[in-house]
Amino acid sequence: MNNNLSKIYKIMKKHLLGSRIFFALILGGLLLETGISLAMPQMISVIIDNLETQTVRWLACCTLLFCVTVILRGGVSVLNTYLSEATGWKMCDYLREDMFRHIFSYSVSRHKAAKAGVFLERIEGDINILVGFFSNMFIDIFSSLLMVVGILIVFFQKSVAMGAAFTALAMVIILLFVKTQDFIAGLWKAAREKETEVLGEFSQDVAAYQDIMGMQKENYVLGRFKGIFREFGTKQVRASFLGNIPATIFFSLLNAGEGVVLIIGMILMSKGRMTIGNLYLVLSYVGLLNMPFYSLKYEFAQMPRVLAAIGRINDVYEEKEERRNGGTMLWEGDGSIVFDRVTFGYVPENVVLKDISFRIESGENVLIEGRTGSGKSTILQLIAGFYSPDEGSVRAGGQRVEDYRSDSYYDGICYIMQSNPVIEDTVRNHVTRYRDGYTDKEILQALRTAHLYEWVADELDRGLDTVISAGDVSYDRAQLLAWAGVLLMKPKILLVDEFDGNIQDRTVRVIDGILSGGLEKTTVVMVTHKHRSNIKFHRTMKVEAGKLVNSSAGME
């Protein structure tokens, strides 16, 4: 409980309390609304006690003042609602951005090990729960506590016994809340973990639907999902049922307290120690107390879900960041590549590459051949710095890959996959890869060489600044966009992984022309399975079962 509350405080301190003006507006609005709400019964009480002694004009002025106060309270309430919503989204947008950045710091192996949808569930599922906390829940709890404190003060002014009775009741309710939150939060966390597992399983099976249908495993998958959903439902129902018990006790204690206050008020009035106006005031405050206590009852019932979400988010933050190429060196060397007795496996018990050594000179074009699963793509991924070898070393430009500063390393290396990802962004950013310093003329020339100029200039309304997404671009154009970026960047090392797997022959010929005429000083390492390229490579390396079995030249 304390750890979770400290996490909430850290988030608030960084993004809410740090903005003093915004925080002052929220606090001022809540204090003003609370003060007005407490003043309104006082005004009615004064009017009642002076009905027989004051003039009609005085009563009319008091009534008008009361109406103005009601309107003012409504305006302040609307303002507080706006500020609370703005607070919730502002806080959670900061948290989304920070969490997204943290998840991107994980190693490639960590991302591959995660089930589909797991990180999305953390960012959208858990953080969306916190939107309610930082807006409605936080504001409701804070304003309700202000109201309760104000009413208790009034009760103490009218009767010490009345004030003491409700203070004791409030302490019992708060103690009940504090003592049950850890247990209930654990139940909700278990339910949320099962929900994430269900989403991950479902996403994986949807992605593999062709294999499932082909192997006639539909009934098996449906049966497995039936069991998973049953277990998820059980955890959800248990957390909801047990989580509502403290809230029910909470409300029962409130009803008992209302009865106590009413009895005390009637006794005081019978003894002449309380006027009719004061009795109305007490009864109004008892009714008014329903509002903050009801809000607290509801929000406290939701709090375990919030704490469970915070706990799950914290689990992500506790995972160690594993940034690759986290050194300090700048790439000032050539485009040479050296593998020195490299052994690597994605998991310890499954070695993919075994004691491989080779050297590729700067400016060479090298083709790597081998069957599926032989380790071809793994060689490219080690050069790209996605992974580090278990044994031996990988050097590029004369230095170990992990010794380079990340930005410097990826300014000198480019990786093209079989399926070039197209995200929703401008054509310009897809080609420049978010690097500054290129003129429109240079970008358009790269697109012309990649046979994309007519598409951009004639078909797209805003040219380079047209926003495109995956659904707007064919498979071949997506691949050519990557190659246009290579022409613009002219990297020291180009890694190409099965680029010719699914594109048309004419697109392969365009890429052959780029390799032959625009990248003379670039070291090109290409993995292929279909051998559709007509490029004359300086040499060919063959990999079988994780070992280098043949190379035309350059072996160390």
Quickly list DSSP for 502-535: SS-HHHHHHHHHHHHHS-TTSEEEEE-SS-----
CA pseudo-torsion sign 511, 516, 518, 519: positive
Is 345 in a helix, a strand, or coil?
A: coil
- pLDDT score of 118 more than 80: no
Strand partners, 541: 368, 551
Class of domain 2-318: mainly alpha
Q: Give the residue-averaged pLDDT of 406-410.
A: 82
The pLDDT confidence band at residue 553, using thresholds 50, 70 and 90, is low
The pLDDT confidence band at residue 442, using thresholds 50, 70 and 90, is very high
Give the span between the Cα atoms of 157 and 38, in whole angstroms: 14
pLDDT value at residue 494? 94
The pLDDT confidence band at residue 554, using thresholds 50, 70 and 90, is very low
Please state whether beta strands 425-426 and 413-416 pair in parallel, antiparallel, or not at all (unpaired).
unpaired
- pLDDT score of 336 more than 90: yes
- The tens digit of pLDDT for each residue in 183-215 reads 777 787 788 777 777 766 676 666 666 666 666
Return the domain boundaries, the chain: 2-318, 337-551
pTM (global) more than 0.75: no
- pLDDT score of 274 more than 60: yes
- The tens digit of pLDDT for each residue in 45-85 reads 888 888 878 888 888 898 899 899 999 988 988 888 888 78
Q: Give the residue-averaged pLDDT of 104-122.
A: 67
Return the minimum-mean-pLDDT range out of 204-208, 357-361, 372-376, 396-400.
204-208
Give the span between the Cα atoms of 44 and 274, in whole angstroms: 15
- The tens digit of pLDDT for each residue in 289-301 reads 667 766 766 666 6
Q: Give the residue-averaged pLDDT of 4-8.
A: 56
Q: Give the residue-averaged pLDDT of 169-173.
A: 76
CATH for 337-551 is 3.40.50.300
Question: Which of 41-45, 126-130, 391-395, 544-548 ranks highest by mean pLDDT?
Answer: 391-395
pLDDT value at residue 1? 47
